[in-house]
Amino acid sequence: MSLKHKLMPYVARLITSESLQQLRRRLREWRRVLRRQPHQATFYFRIDDPYSVLMAQVLPRFARHFGITITPRVMLYLDQQMYPAADMLEELAPRDALQLAELHELTFPKDWQLPPREVSLAATRCLLKHEGDERFWSLAAALADALWRHDHDKLEALLCEHGQMAADRAQLALEARRDQFLADGHYLTGTLHYQGEWYWSVERLDHLAHRLNDLGLGTQDWPLPYGRAKRARLKDAIPALKDSPLVLYFSFRSPYSYVALSRTYALADHYGLTLKIRPVLPMVMRGLSVPRAKRFYILKDAAREARLHQVPFGKVCDPVGAGVERCMAIWPFAEKEGRLREWLRAAATGIWSQGINAASDNGLKFLVENAGLDWKRARRWLDDDSWRDRAEDNRNAMMAAGSWGVPSFMTQDDMVWGQDRFAIIERSLLASTSRHKTTP
C-alpha cells in the first residue's frame, strides 16, 4: 500500500472531525466576542438559481428569529468547471425547487421558464444597485418572480422604478466576485456563510439553526423545519404502494450514496417497494472533473449529514480507480447471491468510515466477508469485466432520466436527485398511487 493510501484515512478523519469542528467554532466565537462584532452571515444570491430564490424567501425570517444580520452578495457568473453537467442542472434545479417550495409552503412558479442570460443580467444589475437597502429581499422576490415567469411587463416596470448599476461596473464586480467566491472556498450560490462554515440551500439551514441555538440564539421552535426534505415520514403502510418500483443509482466513491443507503432501505422496506440498485462509475472515472475545492466541501458536508443521520463516517480511503473497479466487479456476484444490499452497505461503510483500501486484496477480502459473501468465490469475479457494460447501461439510463450524479432515485414517475430528498421521494411515491388509480 502506498504512503498516500496509508495516510489518507487519518487525514480524512482529521478534516471531518466533529471535535475539531467544535474547537474551530469556539475559537471563532471567542474572536467575535473579543472584537465586539455582531453575529453576521453572508448570503450568495444568484437570481437565475432556483435555490437562491427559495433561500431569499426564507432568510429574512431566519435572521429575525435568531437575531443575526445577513448581508446579501449578488452573483451571476460561475466557474463552469464546477458544474460537470450545467445544462442538465439548469433543467433539474427548477423542478426540484418547485417540489421544495411545495414542501415548505414557499413560492416558485409552476409555469416557470428558464430565464435568458441577458434578462438575468438586467435583474442582477438592479439588485447590485440596491444590495445594501432594506428592501433588497422584497425586490429580489419580485424580480425573481417576474424573471422565472417571463413576465416582461412586470420586469420592465421594476427595472424602470428601481434602476440598475452601470453595465461596466456590474461586469467587473460580478467577475471579481466569482473569482473571490472560489478563493473563499465555495462554488454553489444559494449558499450562506457564517463563521467559517458554508450552508447550501434551505435543507442545510438546520445545521446552522442548531449551531445558533447552541450559542443561545433564537429558540428551537424554528420558523420552518429546515431539514424536512431529508427524511420520509414512514407513518402508515400504503397497500397500493406494495411492489412499486424504486431505482437507486449508486456510486462506491460517493459519500452521499453511502449516507443515503440506510434511509433508502428503510423507505423500500416500509412501503414494500421493489428496490433496484444500479451502480455507476464515479464522475472522475467517467471523464467529468471534480475540482479540489469541491471535493473538500463535499467531504465536510457529507460528514455533518452523516452525523445528523447517525451514520459512521470520517476514516476514509478513497477507492477511485482500482478500488471502485474491484467493488464493481463484486457487484454481479453479490446480486447473484441475493446479497447486493449487504455488499453495498459493507463496502461503503468500509470505504467511508473504516479506512479500508478496496484496491488491496486484504481490504477487499475484509469487505466481502463483512457482507456475508465467500471470498474464494468472490475473487473469481475480479477478472470478469462484464460489469462494465452493465455500468454503462446504468449511466445511460440515469442520464436519460435527467440526472448525471448520485445518489439519484427513480420512482414510477419522477427522477429525484440527492440524499437530502427523501420527503420528496415519498411524496412522489404517494402521488403516483393517486395518479395511477385515476388513470382509466
The tens digit of pLDDT for each residue in 32-91 reads 999 999 999 999 999 999 999 999 999 999 999 999 999 999 999 877 666 777 788 889
Give the pLDDT confidence of 360-401 residue by residue, as tens digits: 999 999 999 999 999 999 999 999 999 999 999 999 999 999
| Phi–psi pair at 376, nearest 5 degrees | -60, -40
pLDDT for the residue numbered 12 = 87
User: Among positive and negative, which fits the CA dihedral 386, 390, 393, 394?
Assistant: negative
User: For residue 348, is pLDDT > 80?
Assistant: yes
Q: Do the Cβ atoms of 382 and 373 come closer than 8 Å?
A: no
pLDDT at res. 440? 45
- The answer on pLDDT for 1 being more than 70 is no
Task: Report how far residue 147's alpha carbon sits from residue 12's, in angstroms, rounded to the nearest whole number.
Answer: 42
231-435 and 35-227 share a CATH fold: yes
Task: Tell me the per-residue pLDDT of 253-292, one tens digit each, with 9 for 90 and over.
Answer: 999 999 999 999 999 999 999 999 999 998 765 555 556 6
Q: Which of 278, 240, 288 shows the shortest CA–CA distance to 387?
A: 278
Q: Which residues contact 107 (CB under 8 A, 6 or more apart)?
A: 57, 101, 141, 145
pLDDT tens digits for range 154-186 = 999 999 999 999 999 999 999 999 888 888 888
Peptide bond preceding 407: is omega within 30 degrees of 0, i.e. cis? yes
Pairing of strands 274-279, 408-410: unpaired
Report whether 259 contacts 230 (CB < 8 A).
no
Average model confidence (pLDDT) across the chain = 93
- Mean pLDDT of the region 202-210: 98
d(CA 177, CA 174) in angstroms, rounded, equals: 5
How large is the average pLDDT for residues 295-315? 94
**pLDDT value of residue 182:** 81
CA 330 to chain centre: 28
Question: CA end-to-end span of the chain, whole Å?
Answer: 61
For the domain with range 35-227, which CATH number is right: 3.40.30.10, 3.40.1390.30, 3.20.130.10, 3.40.309.10?
3.40.30.10
Q: Determine the Cα–Cα distance for residues 390 and 396; give it in Å rounded to an integer.
A: 10
> Where are the domains positioned within the chain?
35-227, 231-435
Q: In terms of CATH architecture, what is 231-435?
A: 3-Layer(aba) Sandwich (3.40)
For the whole model, what pTM was predicted? 0.94
pLDDT bucket at 439, cuts 50 / 70 / 90: very low
Task: Output the pLDDT for position 434.
Answer: 66
Give tens-digit pLDDT for 208-262: 999 999 999 999 999 999 999 999 999 888 899 999 999 999 999 999 999 999 9
